[in-house]
Amino acid sequence: MKGLIYFVAFFLLIIGAFGIARSKDLVHAVVCLSVAQAGTYVLLLAVGYQHHASPPVFGSPASRPTRDVVDPLVQAMALTDIVVSATVTALLLAISIQIAKRNHSVDPDELNAVEG
């Protein structure tokens, strides 16, 4: 199980990066970036997991927390990470839209505004 979950985490990171490397469309590349980021969520939550533990939320007012819960810190980190993902995606999509207008293409192979 341990091998599988960490493998999936790094697999998502690498496959996302690979998607950017082979991308023929900037929007596609931006989406692949968010796939790469999904790997970080999986890794963080895997680190904090504990078998037979509950979510770190003690809903009912009366019960004092006595049971074991999974690590809430990695969840807080993952939450922040998700916000970052959404905002970066928004910015990069906005830039891609403008690139499409100026260059009439969003294929990285055909963009040559900067080089050398």
Partner 1 sequence: MTAILAACLLLVAAAGLAVVLTGDPARQALTLSALSLLLALLFLALEAPDVALSEIGIGTAIVPLMVMLAVRKIHAPGKVDSRSAGR
Partner 2 sequence: MAHFDHGAAALLPLAVAVPMLGASVMLALGRHVSRLVRDLFAIAIAAGVTGLSGYFLAVASSGRIVNWVATWTPLGHRSVGIVLEVDPMGAGIALLAAGLVTCALIFSLRYLESDTGHFHLLVLCFLAGMEGFALTGDLFDLFVFLELMGASAYALTAHNIEDPQALQGGLNFGIINSLGAYVSLMGIGLLYAKTGVLQLPLLGAKLAGHRPGPLVIAAFVLIFTGLLVKSGVVPFHFWLADAHAVAPAPVCMLFSAVMDPLGVYAAFRVYWTVFSPTIAPAHARVAFLSLGVATAVIGAVMCCAQRHIKRLLAYSTIAHVGLFFCALGLLREDGTAAAALYAAGHAGIKGALFLLCGMLLDRYGNVDELHLFGKGRGSPHLGLLFGLCGFALAGLPPFGLALGKALAEKAAIDQHLYWMVALFVLVSALTGGAVLRVTARVFLGLGDRPKGDAEYRAVGTERPPAQRLQALPAAALSAIGVLIAGTLALGVLPGARDAAERAAAAFIDRSGYLANALGHAGHQLAIAPSAPNWDLRGVLLGIASALLAAGFAAASCYGRRILVHVPALRLGTRAVLRALHRVHSGHIGDYVAWLMAGCAILAGLIGLPLR
Partner 3 sequence: MSRPVRYVVFCLGVVGLAILLAPAVAHLPAFGSTFHPYRTLAVAAAVAHRTANVVSAINFDQRGLDTFGEESIFLASVAGAALLLRPGEHETERRPLGHARMLDATRLLGYVLLPLSTILGLDLISHGNVTPGGGFQGGVVLGTGLHLLYVAGSYDALEKMRPTTLFEWGEAIGAGSYGALGVAGLLASGAFLANFVPLGHFGALFSGGTVPLLNIAVGIEVASGGAILLSHFLRQAMFTEPAGGGRRASGERDE
From 114, 110, 99, 83, select the one nearest 24 (Cα to Cα). Answer: 110
65 binds partner 1 (CB under 8 A): no
Separation CA 55–CA 67 (nearest Å)? 10
73 touches partner 1 (CB under 8 A): no
In angstroms, how far is CA 39 from the centroid of its own chain?
A: 6
Q: Which residue ranges make up the site for partner 3 (CB under 8 A)? A: 1-3, 5-7, 10, 14, 17-18, 21-22, 46-51, 55-62, 64-65, 68-73, 75-76, 79-80, 83-84, 87-88, 90-91, 93-95, 97-98, 101
